[in-house]
Amino acid sequence: MRQAVILCGGKGTRLGADFSHLPKPLVPVDGIPLLDRILGVAAEAGIKEVILAAGHLGHLIAERYQAVNPWRLNIRTHVEKTPLGTAGCLLEISDQLDEHFALLYGDIFLDFDLAGLIRRHETFLPDATVLVRQSDHPADSDLVDVDLATGEVRAFLPKATRDPAGLYRNCGNAAVYCCSRRLLAAVPQGRPSDIATDVFPALLAEGGRIRACWLEDTGYVKDVGTPARLVEVERYWRRRQLARAAAAAPRRVRAVILDRDGVIVENREPLAEVAHMTFLPGALEGLRLMNEDGLACFVATNQPWIARGLLTEEQMTAVHGQLLTAVNQAGGGIRAIAHSPYHPETHHGEGIPGLRRASECRKPRPGMLFALMEEHGFLPDETVMVGDSPADITAGKNAGVRTVLIRPASAGGSLETIASMADATVEDLQSAAAVIRTWSR
């Protein structure tokens, strides 16, 4: 696939007066126009030709990319005379479209493996391939009904058409697509239409095939539609730059972030009673050695049981109080414990609805790690993550820190892939402390 269409018709009215003089795709993200960043992702994925489907203030988009093109892409701008929605404009440029093309939105920040999505589409060659992910606001997101066994899309579930009392799997439409020209037959003539709410459902109704591709754990896709989301994306990008720099040039270790269950204490989920807490062999000694070496130790733990209604914040706090006391008595020290109460699944009908969502503060996302480092004055290049699961190690990699995997005794070969990602693999926390000591000299 060598061609991408980028939909650039957004007005950005929700972003406020500060950006009213710009088309939405030219709003700066950390000083660089959003559309520049999207074009960079497209070029990195092997795209050679881009059609910018513009509307509001489209002449500004055309003028910029006549003068600015460090990616050496073949860029053409089509400015529609009448707004035709996200799908209608495709008919106006139909004679310019390749048999298969990527379809991107000019107001969505992208930092993910677009080349992988393209490969997935080219493997199956459906009418369209849709990027999906667990949403951090599923109640008001457009969802997709996917057959998890086959990857085939069964239906699109716009928020406006769903039963408010219904239970739906948290499979959000990330609004990144690879398409075949065949979908043009489902675009209505002569009126505005939308890809997700009009064209894709019509395509499925006519027997067309649409497949889903899940966003990888290291990927990030976010609509830059409001001031709050713009701030969130800019924070993500600054953290991402720190992570990349740290991974390329690690320094002497000064801080260690540890998972709790399976690293410090036995994995008994949910751990709601102090009496049920059992320290793992080598855990207290490992924490003592880290404290002796002058390392600042923290805990970052996923506690989805809170979202599920199986654990209260008060119960967890009591367990953590006893944990801190025992660690201190053994000569160790934990400066702070961060926890994520979220659970991303939404179709079970249990627990606390407001916590049933994805979150940047739930591993494998790196939000908890960055929050601890920022609050206590440490950088990723001087920090280590110790965990026992793929989520822990991926979170560490997303944060740019070095990682140590504690392999559970019963794991066998099940962790081989994630062990190859970790910087070290050990049997217990005491062995982890010995490895980290060599990195802290």
Q: Which residues are catalytic?
A: 259, 261
SS3 155: strand
Spatial separation of the C-alpha atoms in residues 235 and 115, rounded to whole Å? 25
SS3 284: helix
Q: Please identify which residue in the block is written with the tokens 């650039």.
A: 8
* Nearest C-alpha neighbor of 355 from the set 389, 300, 311, 316: 311
Spatial separation of the C-alpha atoms in residues 168 and 5, rounded to whole Å? 31
Count Cβ atoms below 10 Å from residue 428 Cβ, excluding itself: 17
What six digits make up the tokens of 157?
Answer: 């579930």
* Nearest C-alpha neighbor of 387 from the set 415, 417, 407, 362: 407
Are 185 and 127 in contact, with CB atoms under 8 Å apart? no
Spatial separation of the C-alpha atoms in residues 61 and 64, rounded to whole Å? 5
What six digits make up the tokens of 218?
Answer: 């290291």
SS3 183: helix
DSSP string, 322-348: HHHHHHHHTT----EEEEE------SS
Are 29 and 109 in contact, with CB atoms under 8 Å apart? yes
